[in-house]
């Protein structure tokens, strides 16, 4: 199988490790294969691909889309290095308010599958980082929502020792208790 699938501490969040075929010419990997993903519990019908570039110290998030426009995401870092974070905001979930954090990088080529019902964010650790990610729903501006990145109730360890660079929107996102 060209992928290894690792359930995270929140079992619906899955770290995907592709098999890399490399030699002196470079490398080849399968980035997505619907049949393998489906066999491993990832049944998202991806509808949109996004590509972002961010500088060192940028923190984007925590973002999600309100129902009925929720999005599952498959995130990978193709250049640089990030910490990627997924926060469970499913109100009836036993892991509500908990998060998963993984390092994604151009070196490890790992991907993080984040199901609907999670807020997502990342912080850039390298000089630049480029992300490619698939979403199971198209962007709907009327459903665009977020959570404050440093909400004390979430207590996310971003693994940084600097003040991140934030958009005005992300500086003013609501707290978890305010979205309830």
Active site residue 113: no
* E strands, 66-158, in order: 73-79, 81-88, 99-105, 111-114, 118-124, 128-135, 144-146
Distances (CA, A) of 178 to 20, 66, 151: 43, 14, 11
Task: Phi first, then psi: give them for residue 118, nearest 5 degrees.
Answer: -125, 145
Contact 32, 3 (CB under 8 A): no
Structure tokens at 110: 């790992």
Q: Which of 77, 91, 7 is nearest to 42 (CA)?
A: 7
For CA atoms 30, 56, 113, 17, the dihedral sign is positive
- What CA–CA distance (Å, rounded) separates 101 from 85? 4
Question: Taking the CB of residue 142, how many other CB atoms lie within 10 A of it?
Answer: 7
99 is catalytic: no
> Looking at the DSSP assignment, which residues form a beta bridge with residue 87?
99, 119
- Catalytic site residue from 64, 99, 113, 133: 133
Choosing from 51, 63, 64, 99, which is the catalytic residue?
Answer: 63
Catalytic residues: 63, 133
């Amino acid at each position: 199988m060209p992928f290894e699938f690792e359930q995270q501490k929140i079992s619906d969040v899955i770290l995907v490790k592709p098999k890399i075929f490399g030699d002196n010419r470079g490398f080849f990997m399968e980035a997505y294969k619907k049949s393998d993903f489906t066999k491993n519990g990832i049944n998202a019908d991806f509808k949109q691909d996004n590509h972002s570039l961010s500088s060192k110290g940028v923190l984007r998030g925590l973002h999600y889309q309100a129902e009925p426009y929720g999005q599952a995401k498959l995130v990978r870092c193709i250049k640089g290095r990030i910490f990627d974070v997924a926060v469970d905001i499913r109100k009836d979930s036993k892991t509500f308010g908990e998060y998963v954090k993984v390092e994604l990088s151009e070196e490890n080529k790992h991907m993080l599958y984040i199901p609907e019902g999670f807020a997502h964010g990342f912080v850039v650790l390298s000089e630049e980082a480029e992300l490619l990610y698939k979403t199971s729903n198209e962007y709907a501006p009327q459903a665009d929502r977020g959570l404050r990145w440093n909400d004390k109730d979430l207590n996310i360890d971003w693994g940084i020792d600097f003040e991140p660079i934030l958009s005005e929107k992300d500086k003013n996102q609501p707290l978890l208790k305010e979205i309830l």
